[in-house]
Amino acid sequence: MSKSSNRERAAKTCAGASGVPLGRCRKWAREGLISPHQPVPDASTKPQRRLEAFVVNTLANTFRDRQLDGSVLGINKAEPSLDSLELQLHPDMANHVIAALLPRVDWEYGGLKGVPGLRPRERGGHLVLEDVSGRAALRVFQPVGERLRLPQGRRGELAVWRKSPRRLHGSEEPDLAAWQGGSREREANFARDYLLSRMLRRPRLLNRVAKAHGFANSYTHGYSDLVVEWCCAASVEGMTSLLRRSGLTSQPTGLVCAASESFPGNLDLGPSRVVVRRLPQCTIPYDLISEKELTATHREEYLR
């Protein structure tokens, strides 16, 4: 294949996976930032990948099967670069995304919720969610409507991000340590951070699974993986092939691992895994509720 058609292929895959305008993806391809092997730029530093991966873990377990308009993690578009990531949030889910990510101790739950070490900052009139160390950040946008809002404190919660704006709070340390793991899990966690950070950088692909009804089911097993289930939309083969072609499971430098045996729907990068699963039957109980009523119930939750 010629150099220019390779570039065009990389640019089209990048635009289709992330939502970055095609013209800019073509420029990236010309500059050598993207290639058919890796059409969406990876985060180049460990802290940035860790932050993005933790964000995926938190949002997947927050929204589960109550998303709107097919926005699986509440994200419509991503603008990835090597050292940062801009996210365009779903207009009605945006403030819930922010509230879910900022860390707080929930006494009733008995522990920390959100991404440990994450703090809101204002930079040039924009909201930036930054790691307290200052080594990783997400710029978040809402396409239309009201400005993004920081969450109000709730009864029974300690807003750690407000209590300790410049330093890691003691309550955040255990979750951060558990995420990083010990020396035996180092390789698995290194791979997991790559894989999940790449998922955050491909919202347009991920959101395809929620095309039929506007929602899918997302969750994780602790800190180890990401599972996305859906009904009535894309086939498992179609989704895995699109995600693989977008470079989701391409081997990054610094990770040496044998390819593991693959089961349909498993997207493995070394010892880490994303599972995509199409359920055999429709999940909407039509005898009890219509799709329209179900969506209206979800929307009401976000607008409350």
β-strands 126-131, 137-141 pairing = antiparallel
Q: How far is the CB of 297 from Zn ion (least distance, A)?
A: 16
Q: How far is the CB of 279 from Zn ion (least distance, A)?
A: 8
Beta-carbon count within 10 A of 84 CB = 16
- Tell me whether residue 126 or residue 211 sits nearer to Zn ion (CB atom): 211
- Tell me whether residue 124 or residue 280 sits nearer to Zn ion (CB atom): 280
Q: What is the DSSP letter of 254?
A: T
Establish if 231 lies at the interface with Zn ion (CB under 5 A). yes
Stretch that binds Zn ion, among 48-56, 161-169, 266-274, 278-286 (CB under 5 A): 278-286
Q: What is the DSSP letter of 135?
A: S
- Tell me whether residue 140 or residue 231 sits nearer to Zn ion (CB atom): 231
* Size of site (CB under 5 A) for Zn ion: 3
- How are strands ordered across the β-sheet holding 118-123? 75-80, 85-89, 137-141, 126-131, 118-123
Q: Using CB under 5 A, pick the residue from 282, 289, 293, 301 that binds Zn ion.
A: 282
Write the DSSP string, 33-89.
Answer: S--SSS-SPPP-SHHHHHHHHHHHHHHHHHHTT--STT-TTSEEEEEE-SS-EEEEE
- Tell me whether residue 14 or residue 231 sits nearer to Zn ion (CB atom): 231
Stretch that binds Zn ion, among 59-67, 130-138, 170-178, 226-234 (CB under 5 A): 226-234
Query: What's the longest Cα–Cα distance across the chain?
Result: 61
Q: What is the DSSP letter of 21?
A: -
- Tell me whether residue 233 or residue 257 sits nearer to Zn ion (CB atom): 233
- Tell me whether residue 65 or residue 187 sits nearer to Zn ion (CB atom): 65
- Partner residues linked to 268 by β-bridges: 273
Stretch that binds Zn ion, among 94-102, 216-224, 251-259, 279-287 (CB under 5 A): 279-287
- Tell me whether residue 232 or residue 257 sits nearer to Zn ion (CB atom): 232
Q: How far is the CB of 156 from Zn ion (least distance, A)?
A: 36
Write the DSSP string, 158-226.
Answer: EEHHHHSSSS--GGGHHHHHHHH--GGGHHHHHHHHHHHHHHHT-HHHHGGGGTTTS--EEE-STTSEE
Q: How far is the CB of 284 from Zn ion (least distance, A)?
A: 6
Tokens 């929930």 -> residue:
106
**End-to-end CA, the chain:** 53
In angstroms, how far is CA 291 from the centroid of its own chain? 25
Q: How far is the CB of 212 from Zn ion (least distance, A)?
A: 5
Q: Using CB under 5 A, pick the residue from 232, 236, 255, 257 that binds Zn ion.
A: 232
Stretch that binds Zn ion, among 105-113, 119-127, 144-152, 276-284 (CB under 5 A): 276-284
Q: How far is the CB of 283 from Zn ion (least distance, A)?
A: 6
Q: How far is the CB of 204 from Zn ion (least distance, A)?
A: 21
- 50, two tokens: 């860790």
Establish if 209 lies at the interface with Zn ion (CB under 5 A). no
- Tell me whether residue 89 or residue 216 sits nearer to Zn ion (CB atom): 216
Contact positions vs Zn ion (CB under 5 A): 231-232, 282
